[in-house]
A and B are shown apart, each in its own frame.
Chain A
Amino acid sequence: MIQDVLTIVRKEFMEILHQRGSRRAGWLNIVIVVGLLGIYMPITSGRTWVTNPIGLVSFAWLPLFLVMGIVADGFAGERERHTLETLLASRLSDSAILAGKITAAVLYAWGIAMVSTLIGGIVANFGSDKAPGFVFYPASWLAIMASFSLLLAILVATLGTLVSLRAGTVRQAYQQLSIGFMVLWFGFFIGVQLLPDTTKLWLSSRLETLNLVVVGIGVFAALVIADLALIAAARLRFQRAKLILD
């Protein structure tokens, strides 16, 4: 099973790298993202990039955006390019194909986020504020960021896979995912704005008194549960006959 998953992951990476026509163009794409987020932004921010949690918070969300394009292509791309049926006619099990596709998207997005984070932590020391000594993110922040972005990447990758399993084209899958996230994102902020002032004040006072450690544990637990539920849903929805006939 693990060997089969790795075989799919390897193939997915090759396809991702060749998305822009050649392997060189694929690597260049990654280098540009890492260069911008892992070198340019930290070096212009200087040491505050590692001493202030804002840098890590922004990297924690990065996989969400990186994973969408990859995962939309997962099954819808295979269907659009007429490679899906041949893949399904091979000896690979349902679980191996599904796990391989999700793992590849997660590793790609989370990998870029982590590499950018680690490089950023180093190059921030060479920014304009040339203070002596070397500073790096506190280990606890880094661990929280790494776990949160991993769980988030799994969530988006699995959700995207569910959409991609039924979408006829990559464009359709991508549009459905983008619109879904936009509705969630803007819906949250608009919803808060629409609340009565008294409710907003009450919420604000509640937030100020909340224990952040408890909130953090709650968020992590919710993400783990959501990830597991979505993986189970994707497993149920992966049916060879439906994939061929859709």
Chain B
Amino acid sequence: MNDDIAIMTEGLSRDFKTVRALDNLSLEIPRGIVFGFLGPNGAGKTTTIRLLLGLLEPSQGRAQVLGLDTRTQAQSIREQTGALLEHTGLYERLTVEDNLDFYGRVYHMDAAHRRARIQELLEHLGLWDRRKEPLAGWSRGMKQKAAVARALLHSPRLLFLDEPTAGLDPVAAAALREDLARLAETERVTVFLTTHNLTDAERLCRQVAIIRAGKLLAQGSPEELRKRSGGERVEVFGSGFTAELVARLKSHPEVREAELVNEHLLVTVQPGAQFSGITALLVGAGAAVEDIRRGKTSLEDAFLDLVEDKD
């Protein structure tokens, strides 16, 4: 495998009894990027992470992580990766310092390096002053920060992060996004991120993949996916927008979708469409158009288009 590829899967599938949780997933993720793995609940994201960490064996296909086979070299993979999974995985009877000290020992960090790294991470995340408190009394956001610190502790080459900003306040979430972007850019750490927060993914990920019911629907940069989803969102403000008018708009060749939202029209037009014809249709039908705002399709729109297309 090319050294510039962090993760490669070929026809990776996993069955649980009669249910196919992951179906023929083929991915190639370059090193040193933040990769967003997006999908609705039960899409197969967690199963994919478990397969890539060698915690589960694939039913079919194969995967390589950092050039190592997930079936035969799982322990070597786990040595070089850090993971924040579905749960924080912290020992809540213990303090954050004890938790990090334990995982530092697990990764054979020497005492001086371990202490320095724990202090560096806890200070950076604003948890240093509370390092002696048991985690049981902490808020969800603080525990999430502590879990991020644990995943980063041994400076892994590849990070698996399952919903890392869940429970974080907006300031902490923004700080984490910055940290992850910096890690990828300056230290060539690859970040495999699953999230429901598509704004996060759009801001942070150089590449994203969308899966649903175990099947890969699309992969590319957020920009490519937005373009692929096609269309442009246009909001029309004014009055006289009736259900009949919305129905006429929907049948217009340049309109992909139209709906009435809070007394204004939300129209998705075909790529490259000229809106003048649509405006003429609206005015001709007796509507009073006061303002037209054109906007780019967001990753969320692209995601919803892809996911709903398959329904």
Contacts and interface: CB of A to CB of B under 8 A. Distances in A.
Nearest to A4: B106
Contacts of A18: 93-94, 134
A90 B98 contact: no
Contact of B78 (A21, A89, A241, A244): A89
Q: Mostly helix, strand, loop or mixed at chain A's interface? A: helix
Given A15-B93, A19-B93, A82-B87, A89 B106 contact: no
Interface in A89-143: 89-93
Interface string B50-80: 1001111100000000000000000100110
B57 A241 contact: yes
Given A91-B75, A91-B78, A92-B106, A86 B87 contact: yes
A147 interface: no
A11 to B, nearest CB: 5
Given A15-B91, A19-B93, A86 B75 contact: no
B103 interface: yes
B146 to A, nearest CB: 12
A82 B90 CA distance: 8
A83 interface: yes
Interface in B153-179: 160
A87 B87 CA distance: 12
B173 to A, nearest CB: 21
Nearest to A85: B85
Nearest to B49: A89
A108 B103 CA distance: 22
A10 B50 CA distance: 27
A156 B281 CA distance: 82
Contacts of B57: 241
Contacts of A221: none
A7 B55 contact: no
A10 B90 CA distance: 16
Contact of A90 (B91, B92, B106): B106
A119 to B, nearest CB: 28
B86 interface: yes
Interface size class of A (residues with CB under 8 A): 20 to 34
A211 interface: no
Contacts of A85: 55, 85-87, 89
Given A4-B106, A10-B105, A89 B53 contact: yes
Interface string A227-246: 00000000000001100110
Interface in B119-162: 134, 150, 160
Interface in B83-112: 83, 85-94, 98, 102-103, 105-108
A11 B91 contact: yes
Nearest to A89: B83
Given A91-B107, A240-B55, A244-B50, A86 B85 contact: yes
Contact of A83 (B16, B91, B107): B91
A24 interface: no
B89 A11 contact: no
Interface string A1-40: 0011001001100110011011000000000000000000
A81 interface: yes
A7 B94 contact: no
Contacts of B88: 82, 86
A86 B83 CA distance: 7
Contacts of B16: 245
A92 B92 CA distance: 20
A82 B89 contact: yes
Given A7-B102, A86-B85, A244 B55 contact: yes
Contact of B103 (A14, A22, A90): A90
Contact of A7 (B56, B105, B134): B105
A92 B83 CA distance: 14
A217 B135 CA distance: 49
Contacts of B103: 90
A241 B90 contact: no
B91 A88 contact: no
A87 B89 contact: yes
A90 B55 CA distance: 10
A244 B56 contact: yes
Contacts of A92: 106
B94 A241 contact: no
Nearest to B86: A85
17 contacts: A3-B108, A4-B106, A10-B102, A14-B94, A14-B102, A15-B91, A19-B93, A81-B91, A82-B89, A85-B86, A86-B87, A86-B89, A90-B106, A90-B107, A92-B106, A241-B57, A244-B55
Interface of A: 3-4, 7, 10-11, 14-15, 18-19, 21-22, 81-83, 85-93, 240-241, 244-245
Closest 5 CB pairs of A and B: A86-B89, A82-B87, A18-B93, A91-B79, A7-B105
